[in-house]
Amino acid sequence: MTRVAFLWHMHQPYYEDLVTGEHILPWVRLHALKDYYGMVALVDEFPSIRLTFNLVPSLLVQLEAFAANRARDRALDLSLKPAADLSPDETFFIIQHFFHAQRQRMIEAHPRYAELLAERGSASTPSEARAAARRFSTDDLRDLQVWHKLAWLDPFYQDRDTRVRALVGKGRGFSEADKQLLRTIELELLNAVLPAYRAAAARGQIEIATSPFYHPILPLVCDSDVYKRTHPESPMPRHRFVHPEDAREQLTRASALHERLFGRRPVGLWPSEGSVSNAMVPLVAEAGFEWMATDELVLARTAGMVFTRDGQGHLDQPERLYQPYVVSAAGGRVACVFRDHALSDLIGFTYAGWHSDRAAEDFVGRLVEGGRRYAARGGRGEPLISIVLDGENAWEHYEGGGRPFLRALYQRLSNHAELRTVTMGEACRGAQAELAGIFPGSWIDANFYIWIGHHDDRRAWSQLAEARDALTAPGHADPSALERAREEVLIAEGSDWFWWYGDDHSSDHDAEFDDLFRRHLRNVYRLLQKPVPDELFTTNISAAAPPPAATAPTGLVHPALDGEETSYFEWLGAGRFDVRDTPGAMHQTDRRAPHLTSIQFGFDRERLYLRLDGERPMRELLALGHEVSLIFLKPAGVRFSIRQTDGQNRTSGVPAHAAGSILELAIPVSALGPVSAVSLFVAVHDAHGTELERHPPNRPIEADVPDPAFEARQWSA
């Protein structure tokens, strides 16, 4: 009998900004409406099927908060707001973000949702999105608020719940009452997820495994130089990261959360991204884990061999892969299974385009053939074929959310003559094959390139290492603030931030992941009452970098420094940055409109000029005690500020300025030193020195200092 062990991996990074309490992206909530509940609920239909689900703690704690109605994200807030009350900026956000769903299966499957997408068009730039938003009526927006959530509801609910069927059948013309009903259903589903897993585990049908708490790459946390094992000539971060104590804490906290939620300590671990090394083996054993899992290529590198497959994709060396092992390293011993990469990828990437019955038949046939080949090649005992993959993202590409395929697969595996499903824990009991150490690598190419190999990754690791060092440097933070700062570091150790850096992966949310990573690190310094490095205000993204933050100057400017728009022509050749037109500009702490609305900048032959416009006259902003700062990255370390005390504007380093309706400043280029270009941010602080906003949000204003040929280059007839 061939044993088949499935592990469905359920994971989301930690999206909450601990300072503001906002969840920056909505994926915990939306996937909970569909995959997290439906994947385990489906098991009820097949009593003989036994599976393993890996539930990552960073997902679980957020799921708890959403189920208790304690967590908020902007998409949720705007989905509930009356459509007639949406502001232009809120409408703009909805048009940009409420179509983030798989097009064929989740949007085009619903005629009204598809119609709304056609109405929006491509809207690939902010100006196009704003133009599209103006085409949407109040009724259109309300229908979009509903379909944005309705399309994510679990197929069980879409098929069986009369309320959901009625909403789907209605299709369009939804009311505000329909939105409230949908919120009731949403909360029901969110609250059904964890009880469904507890019930399935209690009856012995599933095993629940875990991962390190915030999903870090444990080998890199133990020592970032482990990457040199596969890339000895690679550049490395400017600061080495060596914190095995953090790896230990990520494991012990994961185990404790699992016990709190499910009533027992977990015995199984899917190391984040299947990442393993000798250094993490004793930590895993100390934390009480009996088994872990990774990829077949790690086994091949460990054993000094190569796995090959024939023309039909069948493994040529099943007797080596299809068995559990015991890994011994650095005084620790842990059982380990190695997934069949090819079979796992068939489900993850291939079968979505097949008819469900044909895909299930093909997969079961491959399992049977693998078991027979194992026996024919002299494999000892019953073969074990391990299938490990993401348990959520693939189903967006399948018909019916993947449920027809899974039903067809589970039906064929139930009471099969040659196949028997087992949990990973069952699979690893009695493992006899020994490995003296394990090759350091992940499920992708048995190395860590994805997370540390690109320039952007290394920059982020350097920032993380420096923030981690700040925790132990002398300071004035109280114990509570220090504990919160440590939490921010543990979150920033998560793998997902590094996954999206570099040119190997990209999504519509790269900027949000980059911003949230740097936000966590900025919070560390603020909690520790230490200066925030200016580098953490600048995007780490160099591959497919965002466009310049501002338009460049087109001519010299000669403004009268009086705090008023004296003449239309005085700023005519200036460069410009508009706060409101910038994605992410509304991500202020309390979601109020930013104090600044635009920044203009330019040069004459001797000075750099800036003009700042605000929501209110700039003299009133200063009179309230606010401070405006110019923070230069080029030349590095230069900073000027303007604030009012005793009714007078006080400056730090700025020779000339005027505050009226606008704020105008003039800085001699000579005061900046011998520079050919400048880059800077503009920040607003409150009376206590707390930074309220910084513009641009991710990339500084950049401008070349005019040379003698500047005007000639700008001239056109």
| CATH code, residues 568-714 | 2.60.40
Q: What is the pLDDT of residue 294?
A: 98
At residue 502 the predicted structure's pLDDT band, cuts being 50, 70 and 90, is confident
Any residues with CB less than 8 A from the CB of 170 and at least 6 apart, and which? 178
When the pLDDT of each residue in the chain is averaged and rounded to a whole number, the result is: 92
Q: What is the pLDDT of residue 651?
A: 61
Q: What is the pLDDT of residue 585?
A: 33
Over 50: is that where the pLDDT of 145 sits? yes
Evaluated on CA atoms 397, 401, 403, 406, the torsion sign reads positive
> In this predicted model, what pLDDT tens digit does every residue of 665-686 receive, in sequence order?
999 988 888 888 998 889 898 8
Choose which CATH entry (2.60.40, 3.30.230, 2.60.120, 1.20.1430) describes domain 454-537. 1.20.1430
Over 80: is that where the pLDDT of 512 sits? yes
Over 80: is that where the pLDDT of 319 sits? yes
Q: What is the pLDDT of residue 90?
A: 95
Over 90: is that where the pLDDT of 694 sits? no
Share of the chain above pLDDT 90, in %: 78
Q: What is the pLDDT of residue 98?
A: 97
Q: Angle at CA 514, nearest 5°, toward 509 and 520?
A: 125
Mean pLDDT of 431-435: 96
Q: What is the pLDDT of residue 124?
A: 73
Mean pLDDT of 172-189: 98
**H or E segment and range at residue 496:** helix 495-499
Over 60: is that where the pLDDT of 590 sits? no
H-type alpha helices, 377-454 = 403-413, 424-428, 449-452
- Residue spans of the domains in the chain: they are 24-47+66-202, 206-436, 454-537, 568-714
- In contact, 236 and 226? CB cutoff 8 Å: no
Q: What is the pLDDT of residue 714?
A: 57
At residue 636 the predicted structure's pLDDT band, cuts being 50, 70 and 90, is confident
Residue 51 has φ and ψ, to the nearest 5°, of -135, 165
Q: What is the pLDDT of residue 357?
A: 98
Least reliable range by pLDDT among 162-176, 582-596, 598-612: 582-596
DSSP character string of 324-370? -EEEEETTEEEEEEEE-HHHHHIIIIIGGGS-HHHHHHHHHHHHHHH
What Å distances lie between residue 51 and 201, 208, 427, CA to CA? 10, 9, 11
Mean pLDDT of 706-717: 62
Higher pLDDT, 129 or 663: 663
Q: What is the pLDDT of residue 686?
A: 86
Q: What is the pLDDT of residue 477?
A: 84
Cα pseudo-dihedral 170, 176, 181, 185, rounded to 10: 90
Query: CA-CA distance, 405 to 408, in Å (whole number)?
Result: 5
- For residue 216 the two structure tokens come to 């870090």
Q: Give whichever of 121-125, 210-214, 712-716 has the largest mean pLDDT.
A: 210-214
- In contact, 185 and 164? CB cutoff 8 Å: yes
Query: CA-CA distance, 467 to 393, in Å (whole number)?
Result: 32
Residue 333: CB atoms within 10 Å: 14
Q: What is the pLDDT of residue 587?
A: 31
Q: What is the pLDDT of residue 503?
A: 79
CATH 3.20.110.20 fits 206-436, yes or no: yes
Mean pLDDT of 693-704: 85
Q: What is the pLDDT of residue 323?
A: 98
> In this predicted model, what pLDDT tens digit does every residue of 452-483 receive, in sequence order?
999 999 999 999 999 999 999 988 889 999 99
At residue 573 the predicted structure's pLDDT band, cuts being 50, 70 and 90, is confident
Q: What is the pLDDT of residue 317?
A: 98
At residue 588 the predicted structure's pLDDT band, cuts being 50, 70 and 90, is very low
Q: What is the pLDDT of residue 715?
A: 54
Least reliable range by pLDDT among 57-66, 447-456, 678-687: 678-687
> In this predicted model, what pLDDT tens digit does every residue of 597-617 receive, in sequence order?
999 999 998 899 999 999 999
Residue 218 has φ and ψ, to the nearest 5°, of -55, -45
Parallel/antiparallel/unpaired status of strands 2-10 and 384-390 = parallel
Over 80: is that where the pLDDT of 527 sits? yes
- In contact, 489 and 473? CB cutoff 8 Å: no
Q: What is the pLDDT of residue 164?
A: 97
Higher pLDDT, 646 or 373: 373
What Å distances lie between residue 664 and 352, 552, 609, 657, 683, CA to CA? 59, 18, 7, 5, 15
Mean pLDDT of 142-159: 94
At residue 270 the predicted structure's pLDDT band, cuts being 50, 70 and 90, is very high
Q: Give whichever of 147-151, 542-546, 692-696 has the largest mean pLDDT.
A: 147-151
Helix and strand numbers (H, E) in the chain are 27, 23
